[in-house]
Amino acid sequence: MPRGLVNNSALYGQDVASGAFFLNMWNRDQVNATPQASTVPIRPGIQVEVVDYYRQTIKTANQISVFASSDDALVGTIVASIEQGEGTFNDLAVLKTPGSKARINFTATIGGVVVGGGEHDSTIEIHVRHCEPGEQLYLHDRACTKCDPGEYSLMPNAPHCHDCPFGGNCSLGGAAIVTTPGFVGLVVEVVNITYRMHTTTEPLAFFTRCPPGYCCAPDTSRCQSIDFCAGNRQGRLCGECRDGYTQNLGSPTCRPDADCNDGPLAAAGAFVGVFGFAGYLVFFPKNKHPNGMGRVIAFFFQVVGLLIAPTSTSLSALWQRSLTNIFDLQLPLLSHSSNDAANATDDGSHGFCPMPGLTSVGAIWLQFMGPILIGVGLLVMWLFHRHDHMKRKREYAAAIKRERMEGGEEVVISPSR
């Protein structure tokens, strides 16, 4: 509405004014909606404005100040100087228990006189956030402090930070804990008993070595989490394949179920290997004068497996493990090293997959099926040999009986033993 008319022109705005009367807060809603940390300057900074009765900014008055007060302890600058009717609290913080609320009152004064008699003070409610994972809560000043490099914390309002465990990488501090190459981690809820017999649970990280190729390799930079798994693997200690993938033999990667079609080749190879070895044991002529060389070689390769580091990545170590598996009657195709992991792709194109749905436990059973299958082969060959021997014996006895009867002799053949 116009204030009045002068020479047929309407008069608006600054032609009507009063003394300082109200204290406005520009970003009240934004500050209210933003959780704040105890003892940390409030962000965004609280912006205030002194206006008159007509909601116009007071730009001519001097010595205007705005004071912040609260029933809770305030930290930082609690007085803001007003220029051109506006000011900002850039260094104001509240000391309050995380998870609670604090109310801050703001009062404007001109030359020591409270604006409006204090009836129009502005009040803002601060939501003090909990200490986030990776921060330590100091009870004496209720401050949330980020864990130093080399330490970590995984729970809110943690009373203290923990030293980085062996196998983990806490170089960034806070909650940024990841695994190191050759390790895989696991978060476990640990029960703590306080001196007053109160129990609390706290998540802690533990790391253990994983088989070569199951987690991030030493020559990669893919260790981005505590439980990072490579080769389409998942689960505790990376011991499972992802949904839709199957355990691959001869490679640490898991192969898609649709590509797992090596069953006929596996059956043919097992048949030839088992019965070939069993036939060697049955039909190979015995040496009447053994020199012991074979025994020495077999004993050496059975013992040398205990002396080879399981995490070795050299090509010679890979061949040594393959030889020791042969002398231990294990299938060498199932053995792999971290070299296989570096050369294999995530689609599981390397290795051997006899059947869809094969798990890690099933693969271990297959690896130790060699002695069992050889025993079965020996039994089958013994039964066949026994049947053939009995058949030949009966034919021989019948031929002798027939020959003697033709000669007029009385034939008496004792039963076969």
Q: Which domains does the chain show, CATH number per domain?
A: 14-127 (2.60.40.3960)
Mean pLDDT of 22-50: 85
Q: Could you say which DSSP state residue 296 is in? A: H
For the cut 60, the answer to whether the pLDDT of residue 69 exceeds it is yes
pTM, rounded to two decimals: 0.59
Report the pLDDT value the prediction gives residue 330, as an integer from 0 to 100: 55
| Cα dist from 18 to 13, 58, 61, 231, whole Å | 12, 9, 11, 75
- 289 or 333, higher pLDDT: 289
Mean pLDDT for the chain?
75
For the cut 50, the answer to whether the pLDDT of residue 165 exceeds it is yes
For the cut 50, the answer to whether the pLDDT of residue 345 exceeds it is no
pLDDT tens for 169-193 read 999 999 999 988 888 888 888 877 6
Report the pLDDT value the prediction gives residue 206, as an integer from 0 to 100: 92
Question: How far is the C-alpha of 129 from the C-alpha of 175, rounded, in Å?
Answer: 17
For the cut 90, the answer to whether the pLDDT of residue 411 exceeds it is no
For the cut 60, the answer to whether the pLDDT of residue 6 exceeds it is no
Question: Residues of the chain with pLDDT > 70: what percent?
Answer: 71
- 20 or 12, higher pLDDT: 20
For the cut 60, the answer to whether the pLDDT of residue 404 exceeds it is yes
For the cut 50, the answer to whether the pLDDT of residue 116 exceeds it is yes
For the cut 80, the answer to whether the pLDDT of residue 155 exceeds it is yes
- 9 or 332, higher pLDDT: 332
| Cα dist from 333 to 203, 252, 299, 371, 400, whole Å | 40, 12, 21, 15, 53
Report the pLDDT value the prediction gives residue 197, as an integer from 0 to 100: 60
Report the pLDDT value the prediction gives residue 150, as an integer from 0 to 100: 93
Q: Which of 31-40, 53-62, 179-188 has the lowest mean pLDDT?
A: 53-62
Question: How far is the C-alpha of 289 from the C-alpha of 291, rounded, in Å?
Answer: 6
341-345, long-range: CB < 8 A, 24+ apart: 341/212, 341/213, 341/214, 341/217, 341/230, 341/231, 341/251, 341/252, 341/253, 342/213, 342/217, 342/219, 344/213, 344/231, 344/251, 344/252, 344/253, 345/253
